[in-house]
């Protein structure tokens, strides 16, 4: 899909979400530009997953607006009806959940998990769907012979990769990645980084990626947001935030890892 | 020749919140210009702030005071107030930076890493690959290594891959942080000759070259950084 590079792909304004007394997200605003990978880092419980779920329409905000570029115009997502939002989620977006069980259908085969999104995108021919599913299993380094197995027979890391394949198979415009490389061993993690980077540079994929791994953020994201207690405490180019962090918490975060 | 880069009374300090709020004033009122077709070499002892100044020019270190004006042909960008989007544009078209360290996605072959730099700047994949092969050969990276990830290469090999990557898509302003530091004499001469070639084609170059002979070879204008240090009794 052609994107207008002159306006944001996504615009988040003054987003709020509380769970009881917990301010999970407090007054969050930022823009995502077409072709950009935005990284989100921050301590556990700082509201990163909540923010992703709010933006992707999986959770309703208490306050604030989210706009998304369609046909070169920004549309307000909260104005969309349920079917329109569902359609967007299945065709133009992808969501890789922190816990694979939230993003997979555990009672259908690996192939069906991938095929489901293709069918939502009007693929009808069984042979083509199966072939495409095999191609993507290979791309995430799962043996294609396991296409008919249930995801629950996969290891955690394999489930995570299946989830990624399921989401990327329809060439989405925008993917939300919640710890996409968490639980993966380093060599598979490297392969995924390369895969994602390739999609970003060849297909113009944009992404918002939550990660606790600053090295992953460094290699993949153009800009970085640092969250603490539901608020954005720092944002900037990834190299700026990692090499010249301004906020005390960002400095602590960067100085706590061995090497970035 | 055109002034391409103007640094005006630039100061940089770090506030170390995790270390009792210690303040380091590392650059103080730096002013210098770099013109097209000129090489300016930053000189001074270790820790004086040479690498930091390059990082400030590239936009990695935020400017505390003063400004840095970059002439992009059609317009001027004031780096001190530039938006992230403007800095991303600058890096795409105007400023290239060759750091001392190679930072790449694991498992990606060397040849792709070098070619991708040119593809990102608009070259076709075939053009970019041909140029990448030529550059790697010129820099004496054995053919056998081209299809391997550079992460397991020796320090000097990694440095040359970094240089090949920069040379595959040079920008009008190039920043070099000790580009020949871990190279043998033969490779050193190759790299210096490449940099001299950039200068001849009109590139504005700001760099750190430890060796006096290198600076002479490049006919570089030397800028002593010691005068920008924080006064001891401040
Ligand atoms: N459905 C919910 N009901 C109640 N509280 C919730 C709910 N979801 C999240 N929270 C709370 O909101 C805060 C933010 O949670 P969130 O999952 O967004 O954090 P996170 O930054 O993703 O953390 P982690 O890095 O551990 O995944 C936490 O205090 C959490 O306990
Ligand atoms: N991100 C940073 N945070 C805190 N201090 C920093 C940071 N970057 C640099 N410094 C400090 O600034 C001073 C200048 O460092 P810089 O790396 O610019 O020196 P240099 O002149 O390049 O030295 P060398 O010749 O050893 O490479 C040093 O004291 C260094 O510790
Ligand atoms: Mg989370
Ligand atoms: Mg240095």
For residue B223, the surrounding DSSP H or E stretch is: strand B221-224
- Can you tell me the distance from the alpha carbon of A251 to that of A43, in angstroms, rounded to the nearest whole number? 13
Phi-psi region of A53 (alpha: psi -120 to 50; beta: other; left: phi over 0): alpha
Chain A positions in Cβ-Cβ contact with residue B92 (cut-off 8 Å): none
Answer whether B18 sits within 8 Å of A190, measured CB to CB: no
pLDDT beyond 90 at B226? yes
Distance A34 CA to ligand 1 centre (A): 28
- Can you tell me the distance from the alpha carbon of B69 to that of A216, in angstroms, rounded to the nearest whole number? 32
Grouping H, G, I as helix, E, B as strand and the rest as coil, residue A120 is helix
Distance A163 CA to ligand 4 centre (A): 43
Q: What percent of chain A has pLDDT over 70?
A: 98
In CATH, what class is A1-92+173-260?
alpha beta
E strand residue ranges, A97-159:
none
A174-178, strands of its sheet edge to edge:
A93-96, A174-178, A206-210, A37-42, A223-228, A231-237
Tell me the pLDDT tens digit for each residue of B9-56.
999 999 999 999 999 999 999 999 999 999 999 999 999 999 999 999
- Can you tell me the distance from the alpha carbon of A217 to that of A239, in angstroms, rounded to the nearest whole number? 10
pLDDT beyond 60 at A177? yes
Please tell me if the CB atom of residue A211 comes closer than 6 angstroms to any atom of ligand 1.
no
Distance A239 CA to ligand 3 centre (A): 23
Atom 14 (ligand 1): residue with closest C-alpha?
A47
Mean pLDDT for B90-106 is 92
Answer whether B84 sits within 8 Å of A237, measured CB to CB: yes
Which residues sit opposite B7 in a β-bridge?
B32, B68
pLDDT, position A258: 60
Ion ligand 3: residues, CB within 5 A, are A 49, 98
Answer whether A218 sits within 8 Å of B17, measured CB to CB: no
Among chain B residues, CA nearest to A8 = B85
pLDDT beyond 60 at A260? no
pLDDT beyond 70 at B233? no
- Can you tell me the distance from the alpha carbon of A236 to that of A245, in angstroms, rounded to the nearest whole number? 9
User: What is the position in ligand 2's atom list of the atom closest to the CA of B55?
Assistant: 18
Chain A positions in Cβ-Cβ contact with residue B17 (cut-off 8 Å): 247-248, 251-252
DSSP A139: H
- Can you tell me the distance from the alpha carbon of B65 to that of A215, in angstroms, rounded to the nearest whole number? 30
DSSP A21: T
pLDDT beyond 60 at B184? yes
Task: Phi first, then psi: give them for residue A79, nearest 5 degrees.
Answer: -85, -15
Please tell me if the CB atom of residue A44 comes closer than 6 angstroms to any atom of ligand 1.
yes
Atom 16 (ligand 1): residue with closest C-alpha?
A47
Q: What is the pLDDT confidence band of residue A199, given thresholds at 50, 70 and 90?
A: confident
Per DSSP, helices labelled H in B139-205 are: 155-167, 185-200
Please tell me if the CB atom of residue A34 comes closer than 6 angstroms to any atom of ligand 1.
no
Distance A111 CA to ligand 4 centre (A): 52
- Can you tell me the distance from the alpha carbon of A220 to that of A226, in angstroms, rounded to the nearest whole number? 16
What's the mean pLDDT when you consider all of chain B? Answer: 94
Answer whether A197 sits within 8 Å of B105, measured CB to CB: yes
Tell me the ipTM for this assembly. Answer: 0.92
Which residues sit opposite B68 in a β-bridge?
B7
- Domain-wise residue ranges, chain A: 1-92+173-260, 106-171
């Amino acid at each position: 899909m052609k994107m207008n590079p002159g306006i944001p792909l996504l615009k988040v304004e003054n987003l709020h979400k509380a769970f009881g007394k917990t301010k999970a997200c407090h007054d969050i605003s930022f823009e995502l530009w077409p072709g950009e990978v935005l990284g989100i880092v921050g301590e556990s419980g700082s509201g990163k997953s909540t923010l992703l779920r709010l933006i992707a329409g999986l959770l309703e905000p208490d306050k604030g607006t989210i706009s998304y570029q369609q046909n070169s115009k920004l549309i307000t997502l909260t104005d969309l009806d349920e079917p329109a939002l569902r359609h967007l989620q299945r065709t133009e977006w992808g969501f890789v959940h922190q816990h694979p069980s939230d993003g997979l259908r555990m009672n259908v085969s690996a192939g069906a998990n991938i095929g489901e999104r293709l069918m939502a995108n009007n693929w009808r021919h069984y042979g083509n769907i199966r072939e495409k599913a095999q191609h993507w299993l290979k791309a995430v380094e799962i043996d294609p012979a396991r296409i008919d197995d249930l995801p629950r027979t996969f290891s955690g890391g394999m489930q995570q990769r299946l989830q990624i394949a399921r989401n990327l198979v329809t060439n989405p415009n925008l993917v939300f990645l919640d710890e996409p490389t968490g639980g993966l061993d380093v060599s598979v993690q490297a392969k995924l980084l390369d895969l994602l980077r390739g999609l970003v540079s060849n297909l113009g994929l944009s992404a918002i990626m939550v990660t606790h791994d600053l090295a992953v953020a460094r290699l993949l994201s153009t800009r970085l947001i640092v969250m603490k207690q539901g608020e954005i405490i720092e944002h900037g180019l990834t190299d700026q935030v990692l090499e010249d962090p301004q906020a005390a918490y960002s400095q602590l975060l960067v100085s706590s890892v061995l090497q970035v | 020749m055109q002034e391409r880069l103007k640094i005006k009374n630039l100061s940089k300090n770090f506030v170390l919140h995790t270390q009792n709020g210690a303040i380091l004033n590392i650059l103080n009122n730096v002013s210098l210009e770099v013109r097209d077709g000129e090489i300016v070499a930053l000189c001074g002892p270790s820790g004086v702030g040479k690498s930091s100044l390059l990082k400030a020019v590239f936009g990695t270190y935020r400017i505390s005071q003063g400004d840095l004006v970059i002439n992009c042909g059609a317009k001027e960008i004031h780096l001190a107030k530039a938006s992230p989007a403007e800095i991303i544009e600058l890096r795409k078209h105007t400023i290239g930076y060759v750091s001392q360290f190679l930072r790449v996605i694991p498992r990606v072959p060397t040849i792709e890493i070098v070619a991708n730099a040119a593809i990102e700047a608009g070259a076709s994949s075939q053009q970019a690959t041909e140029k990448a092969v030529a550059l790697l050969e010129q820099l004496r990276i054995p053919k056998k290594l081209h299809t391997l990830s550079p992460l397991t290469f020796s320090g000097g090999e990694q440095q040359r891959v970094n240089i090949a990557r920069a040379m595959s898509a040079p920008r009008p302003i190039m920043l070099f942080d000790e580009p020949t530091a871990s190279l043998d004499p033969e490779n050193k001469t190759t790299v210096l000759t490449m940099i001299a070639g950039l200068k001849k084609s009109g590139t504005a170059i700001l760099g750190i070259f430890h060796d006096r002979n290198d600076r002479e070879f490049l006919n570089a204008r030397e800028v002593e950084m010691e005068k920008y240090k924080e006064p001891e009794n401040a």
